[in-house]
Amino acid sequence: MITDINKATLEDFIDLPTVTEWDPTIKYTGIVILPSGHLHDSGWGSMYFIPENNGKATFKISGYSDCLHIDGIGGFGKSIAKTNWENPKPIGWRIDCLQCGLIRVFARLTLDESNFALSDFAIYGVR
């Protein structure tokens, strides 16, 4: 378990356990992207995704995905109901760099639990 992502080392992130199931109702405050060191079948590098809550991280996901879709494929969010088009609410996506050199994408977000082992991985902003 990492209790402060900004003070964690690259090895701390690498050592987190990889999971295939998680609670999809949990809302996270960010996601750290860790290159897996392997190539996807497409030829692009694959990534692990490490959800974090207020600087704490306990697991990583995937390792096979070569593409991250913010707000899902196409960026439409989980629901493209007409009300979303008429009254959009900004997500406030941000990206920073941790002291160990990894990149973190953060906002109030959820993870796509349906495609963790596929080429594409999606995260969704919580409006």
Q: Which residue type occupies 77?
A: G
For residue 99, the model assigns a pLDDT of 82
For residue 117, the model assigns a pLDDT of 61
Q: Is 4 domain-assigned?
A: no
**DSSP SS3 for 29:** strand
Residue pair 29/51 in contact by the 8 Å Cβ criterion = no
Q: Is 3 domain-assigned?
A: no
Q: Is 47 domain-assigned?
A: yes
* Number of structural domains in the chain: 1
Residue pair 123/110 in contact by the 8 Å Cβ criterion = yes
Closest to 46 measured CA to CA, from 64, 59, 32:
64
Q: ∠ at Cα 83 (80, 88), nearest 5°?
A: 85
Question: Which two structure tokens, joined as six digits, stand for 78?
Answer: 């989980």
Rg, the chain, Cα only: 14
Q: Which domain holds residue 29?
A: 10-125
Q: Is 2 domain-assigned?
A: no
Q: Is 57 domain-assigned?
A: yes
What average pLDDT does the segment 74-101 reach? 70
36 against 91, higher pLDDT: 36
Q: Is 112 domain-assigned?
A: yes
Q: Is 77 domain-assigned?
A: yes
* pTM, full prediction: 0.77
Q: Is 5 domain-assigned?
A: no
| φ/ψ bin of 109: left (φ > 0), alpha (ψ from -120 to 50), beta (otherwise) | beta
**DSSP SS3 for 33:** strand
pLDDT tens for each residue of 14-60: 999 999 888 888 999 999 999 998 888 888 888 999 999 999 999 99
